[in-house]
Structure 1
């Protein structure tokens, strides 16, 4: 790595990313409650946010030389069975998408949703369970790495308050994000790669944005999401136990 990992660097990268998202959202002029309701709103707010955010993250990660530790574990968890939590999340997303009335979407809206999924999966995973993990692992034991990365991932969603979301709606999002962040962390540990977490995260968010176009009287995702989060919290300890991912701060080998 060109730059030795530090916890403050990982946190600074996260803050920089959030500043970019906030500025783009403010400049778009689209009210928070309208984001995701149309292709236009996604192309005006979400897509530019993730394009600029992705460029920022790519440049920073390359400059630091952190790509390998950001994307891959040195050794994935010896306990693979906790992957049941991410698998359940995948099932919930697929069922939710299957219940969606796709006739409500035109080709432009579908393209917007696809770009949204790719953007959120790449950006949020790279910043929250990529560079942030690299930084935290230089200082903390793995249990704290999991906890702080999940807490900060949840706290990221408080940014919605600045965009106009009522606090009473943003706080539940923070809790759900903490739980889902734990599930994505489990997927990284059990597969040894952040790429699978990026893919699941993107699919999950697409399913979330299509819930309003769901055929079911009570959307399956609404009932199952808390179960997924609770399951993740119940099994995460088993992928933490055998983790040996701490990055020596003296490491200077170019990745």
Structure 2
């Protein structure tokens, strides 16, 4: 397909500035509300102002940033898909785990206002994907081999979650969240490589995060335990087989002025 020319040549430092900037903006907005992380689920207002507002602002700023850089093409589309498509079972099973979470959700605990506020959480699929497996990935590809692109983008995605400690999340739980985020980052990287597009990763990311939050509202269900075990298992498998979609690939970021992407 044909995409607009790059306006700014991708550089690693640009990707890192965007990564830090995203964390700072989201943290500053969430911290300024004074709503602790572990009370977001207490009410529609807590959820919207504690999490949703920061995602809305971040979505707007990231869309503007991507447009100014002219990076929509390489951020969203792969120049060449993975030669092997079978690893897509990894993100498919993550989707199955999300469905299990939703199936086990106590929907009776949701008011219409709370449901509306929680739907805003779907925006995390756009914001965190365009930052990590979009703009950061594009920047890393300007210098590093693809194995490092996967490893660094997934590691930075995981490390980002440590900021939740500063918002009131328990440290032990956050460490576990960081570990599982690396697994999720790998599954989403596989999805991008196999489909050739970041869009599906955005959708899966948003649905998974929404399902995890939804499953924690109201009376807990045993189905969510099965979902989490499946997620953990398939995430480990994803790390074990990610090399399949990396091997032999050359996804170097196009030079300034290049307009062609497959």
Please confirm whether the aligned pair reaches a TM-score higher than 0.5, indicating the same fold.
yes
**Within the alignment, does 1:205 sit opposite 2:209 as a pair?**
yes
- Identify the residue that residue 143 of structure 2 maps to in structure 1: 139
Contact 1:3–1:252 (CA under 8 A) maintained in structure 2: no
Runs of 4+ in 1 over 4 A off after TM superposition: none
Contact 1:179–1:233 (CA under 8 A) maintained in structure 2: yes
Distance (Å, rounded) in 1 between the aligned partners of 2:208 and 2:181: 12
Greater CA deviation, 95-104 or 191-200? Answer: 95-104
Distance (Å, rounded) in 2 between the aligned partners of 1:37 and 1:128: 30
**Within the alignment, does 1:114 sit opposite 2:119 as a pair?**
yes
Greater CA deviation, 160-169 or 76-85? Answer: 160-169
- Identify the residue that residue 219 of structure 1 maps to in structure 2: 225
Greater CA deviation, 103-112 or 8-17? Answer: 103-112
Q: How many residue pairs align between the two structures?
A: 253
Contact 2:7–2:257 (CA under 8 A) maintained in structure 1: yes
Contact 2:100–2:223 (CA under 8 A) maintained in structure 1: no
| CA shift for structure 1 position 109 | 1.4
| CA shift for structure 1 position 11 | 0.9
SS at match of 2:257: coil
Distance (Å, rounded) in 2 between the aligned partners of 1:113 and 1:221: 20
RMSD over aligned Cα atoms: 1.5
Pick the aligned partner of 2:181 from 177, 180, 183: 177
SS at match of 1:219: helix
TM-score by length of 2: 0.93
TM-score by length of 1: 0.95
- Identify the residue that residue 153 of structure 1 maps to in structure 2: 157
Distance (Å, rounded) in 2 between the aligned partners of 1:190 and 1:223: 24
- Identify the residue that residue 3 of structure 2 maps to in structure 1: none
**Within the alignment, does 1:50 sit opposite 2:50 as a pair?**
no
- Identify the residue that residue 94 of structure 1 maps to in structure 2: 99
**Within the alignment, does 1:127 sit opposite 2:131 as a pair?**
yes
Distance (Å, rounded) in 2 between the aligned partners of 1:99 and 1:173: 21
| CA shift for structure 1 position 218 | 6.3
| CA shift for structure 1 position 215 | 2.8
For 1:49-68, what aligned pairs fall within 5 Å after superposition? 49-68=54-73
